[in-house]
């Protein structure tokens, strides 16, 4: 890994259907490495996106009755929403229908053409529409595509070809001389073995459909999806040019094993022909399997909805399970019972109980304050983390994320064992007690930092409870006095071990007659008091009257946009059944709904003269609110602005006093 910059990408998803567990897994793995690089102070650029051209997109759009661009625009929002729910920290989201991508893809084609590496001919062969590729007879299984298990179509058409065969030996030599280029070694050997056979030239255009990028010299043809799609890794960097020079070549392409050939033979050959540097590494992950070892697929009926799992266990728990349970480069079996077991034993018992007892002991024995860092002999001698930290980063650099987390968890267990051995609850000497509990807090500070690429929200909550900064590796050892606050159980014990039916090999199907809006409980409230959040510059802490016995405390991100005087005695609308949370140490029970104005301000929605406590409705939807609504449940019922009115699916939100209004942009989301 370069000392100062890191460019990581994922495969761009094909939005002809809804995102699934495999999409979620790949993005979380890449996000781990992006966050780990940032934690080390490395300037990082993280790219994800969508591959929006090709025959199967056009067919899906036709089936849906929409123009292709409108179809992919709608799908893009679905994918973006999932990656927001997964807390993916991407820096750019590339879509191949964007002008910036079209511009570079044509430039790439022209560079390759000028090299003499493109020619026109006819092609006939077995074509898999789902893969967007021709298959050889040896690749077919009973006349079907081995990945999608569907019959291929015999296609004969005029096409432009890329002289892929010309670059076989050069690509093979690169792979042989750069053993780190393909990870894991198993996939490297697979490609080298395949390169011992003849390599056919690649068809790179189609003329039987028009949803794609027209060739500059023959607009009757559009670029074949792989020659188009692979260019995204570079096209996302072409504007501004200083980004290209800073981040290319890519340090790591994270992909699934089913697209290995495209990324380790076709993409390098394209770059060699065009005169660009090759990426430094292609990291290949396995498939997500069900508990019986079958690849998850709709036609099998074993697909698990990642949003459903997040609703039950939180996004951080799902992220932890991906990184902890699935060996890097290997297929992984997704099992709800295994996730449940790790939740209770590793997260609840190992980590959760450690945080609770350290925080409680510091509060009860030391008045909530303890000094860490500097000359802390007890910590350095009994809980010295240097070996663990070195092993953690060694595993990260080797692309073995599961091993990195295993090293961290051994340290969590060692810290628990240390506290059991030292028994601080029996120590009478205050100096000795401060040393022992300080060692526990110092250990947890390191755990929070190294856990942050996996569980960013949980890590931030741990750091807030300990009163320590969570910024970079440098802050893991700085000398400071910590003010330790009460820590709520981060992983409360779950008694019902079968809340998600997907672990039984059958997908949980949502009820068709339940509208997502019906699960929301949005009420009219009145702000009684406003204070600045003590530990978050963007947040106000509000006291809001919702017509209940007691007013609620709600944290709201309005501090950069409004003054307290603008909010006191103001009526607002509140998502009242949102799961309670603790934001930087302050409990929050609800969410004040607001939207964006043209000048960049965020303004709350206005219920007018509606009475306090009234429930807000939408015509034709019967209210049946969920008791504790997750953020992802709320996002399934997206609210937006239309003509100054808050709407859901173009229907206005109403009270007895009329429509809910807001001085915000048309089309802006209300959240």
Q: Please confirm, yes or no, whether 102 is among the known catalytic residues.
A: no
Nearest to 89 by CA among 42, 40, 29, 41: 29
273 Cβ contact list (under 8 Å, min separation 6): 111, 112, 115, 117, 162, 163, 166, 167
Spatial separation of the C-alpha atoms in residues 392 and 275, rounded to whole Å: 37
Which is nearest to 167 in space by CA: 116, 131, 213, 121? 116
232-233-238 Cα angle (round to 5)? 80
Closest CA to 574 of 596, 604, 548: 604
**Catalytic site residue 23?**
yes
Catalytic residue among 122, 156, 298, 394: 298
Q: Which of 23, 263, 285, 401 is catalytic?
A: 23
Q: How far is CA 542 from each of CA 315, 329, 591, 662, rounded to the nearest angstrom?
A: 26, 47, 10, 20
Catalytic: which of 53, 145, 401, 519?
Answer: 145
**Among the listed residues 379, 351, 582, the one whose alpha carbon sits nearest the alpha carbon of residue 464:** 582
Out of 53, 128, 221, 571, the active site residue is 128
CA neighbor of 54 nearest in space, from 202, 259, 211, 218 = 211
CB atoms within 10 A of CB 651: 15
From the number of C-beta atoms within 10 Å of its C-beta (0-12, 13-18, 19+), residue 333 rates as: middle
Strand order in the sheet with 202-203: 133-135, 118-128, 153-162, 202-203
482 catalytic, yes or no? no
Cis peptide leading into residue 595 (ω within 30°): no
What is the distance between the alpha carbons of residues 295 and 18, in angstroms, rounded to a whole number?
Answer: 17
Burial group, residue 44, by CB count within 10 angstroms (0-12, 13-18, 19+)? buried
Q: Is the peptide bond before 240 cis (omega within 30 degrees of 0)?
A: yes
The answer to whether 20 is a known catalytic residue is yes
How far apart are the C-alpha atoms of 580 and 630, rounded to whole Å?
9
Instruction: Choose, from 148, 333, 508, 626, the residue flagged as catalytic.
Output: 148
Active site residue 571: no
From the candidates 20, 285, 561, 631, which is the catalytic residue? 20
249 preceded by cis ω (within 30°)?
yes
Check if 252 is active-site: no
* CA–CA gap between residue 543 and residue 205 (Å, rounded): 62
Q: Is the dihedral of CA 319, 325, 326, 332 positive or negative?
A: negative
Q: Known catalytic residue: 131?
A: yes
Q: Is 148 tagged catalytic?
A: yes
**Helix crossing, 401-422 with 386-397: angle to 10°?**
170
DSSP annotation of 47: E
User: How many Cβ atoms sit within 10 Å of the Cβ of residue 97?
Assistant: 20
Helix, strand, coil percent content, the chain, rounded in steps of 5:
40, 20, 40
Q: What would the two tokens of residue 127 be?
A: 């074509």
* Catalytic residue, candidates 56, 131, 253, 519: 131
Selected catalytic residue, list 66, 174, 257, 295: 295
Supply the residues annotated as catalytic: 20, 23, 128, 131, 145, 148, 295, 298
């Amino acid at each position: 890994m370069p000392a100062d910059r890191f460019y990581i990408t994922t495969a761009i998803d094909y939005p002809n259907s809804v995102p699934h567990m495999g999409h979620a897994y790949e993005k979380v793995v890449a996000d781990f490495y992006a966050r780990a690089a940032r934690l080390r102070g490395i300037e990082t650029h993280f790219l994800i996106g969508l591959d929006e051209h090709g025959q199967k997109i056009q067919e899906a759009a036709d089936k849906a009755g929409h123009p292709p661009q409108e179809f992919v625009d709608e799908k893009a929002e679905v994918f973006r929403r999932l990656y927001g729910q997964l807390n993916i920290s991407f820096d750019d989201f590339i879509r191949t229908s964007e002008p910036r991508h079209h511009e570079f893809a044509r430039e790439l084609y022209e560079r390759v053409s000028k090299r003499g590496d493109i020619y026109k001919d006819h092609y006939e062969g077995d074509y898999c529409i789902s893969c967007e590729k021709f298959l050889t007879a040896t690749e077919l299984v009973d006349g079907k595509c081995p990945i999608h298990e569907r019959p291929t179509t015999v296609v004969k058409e005029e096409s432009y070809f890329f002289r892929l065969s010309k670059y076989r030996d050069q690509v093979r030599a690169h792979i042989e001389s750069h053993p780190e280029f393909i990870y894991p070694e198993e996939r490297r050997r697979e490609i080298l073995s395949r390169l011992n056979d003849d390599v056919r030239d690649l068809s790179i255009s189609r003329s039987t459909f028009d949803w794609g990028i027209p060739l500059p010299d023959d607009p009757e043809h559009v670029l074949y999806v792989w020659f188009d799609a692979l260019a995204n890794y570079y096209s996302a960097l072409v504007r501004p040019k200083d980004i290209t020079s800073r981040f290319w070549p890519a340090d790591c392409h994270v992909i699934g094993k089913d697209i290995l050939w495209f990324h380790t033979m076709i993409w390098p050959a394209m770059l060699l022909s065009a005169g660009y540097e090759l990426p430094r590494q292609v990291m290949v992950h396995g498939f997500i399997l069900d508990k019986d070892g079958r690849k998850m697929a709709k036609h099998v009926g074993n697909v698990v909805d990642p949003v459903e799992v997040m609703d039950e266990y939180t996004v951080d728990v799902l992220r932890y399970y991906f990184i902890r349970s699935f060996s890097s480069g290997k297929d992984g079996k997704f099992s709800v019972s295994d996730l449940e077991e790790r939740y209770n034993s590793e997260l609840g018992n190992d980590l959760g109980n450690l945080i609770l007892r350290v925080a409680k002991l510091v509060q009860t024995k030391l008045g909530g304050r303890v000094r860490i860092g500097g000359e802390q002999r007890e910590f350095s001698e009994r809980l010295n983390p240097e070996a663990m930290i070195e092993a953690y980063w060694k595993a990260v650099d080797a692309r073995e994320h599961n091993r990195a987390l295993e090293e961290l968890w051994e340290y969590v267990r060692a810290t628990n064992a240390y506290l059991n051995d030292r028994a601080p609850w029996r120590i009478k000497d205050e100096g000795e007690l401060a040393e022992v509990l300080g060692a526990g807090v110092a250990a947890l500070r390191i755990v929070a930092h190294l856990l942050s690429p996996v569980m960013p929200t949980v890590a931030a909550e741990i750091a807030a409870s300990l009163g320590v900064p969570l910024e970079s590796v440098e802050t893991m050892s700085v000398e400071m006095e910590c003010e330790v606050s009460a820590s709520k159980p981060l992983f409360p014990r779950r008694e019902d071990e079968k809340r998600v039916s997907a672990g039984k090999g059958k997908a949980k199907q949502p009820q068709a007659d339940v509208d997502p809006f019906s699960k929301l409980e949005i009420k009219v409230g009145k702000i009684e008091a406003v204070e600045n959040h003590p530990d978050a510059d963007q947040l106000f802490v509000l006291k809001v009257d919702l017509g209940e016995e007691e007013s609620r405390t709600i944290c709201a991100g309005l501090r950069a946009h409004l003054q307290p005087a603008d909010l006191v005695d103001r009526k607002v609308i509140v998502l009242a059944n949102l799961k309670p949370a603790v934001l930087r140490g302050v409990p929050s029970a609800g969410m004040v709904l607001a939207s964006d104005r043209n000048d960049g301000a965020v303004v709350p929605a206005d219920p007018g003269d509606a009475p306090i406590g009234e429930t807000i409705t939408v015509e034709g939807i019967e209210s049946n609110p969920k008791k504790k609504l997750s953020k992802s449940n709320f996002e399934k019922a997206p609210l937006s602005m239309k003509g100054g009115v808050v709407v859901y699916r173009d229907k206005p939100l109403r009270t007895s006093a009329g429509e809910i209004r807001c001085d915000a942009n048309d089309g802006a989301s209300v959240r």
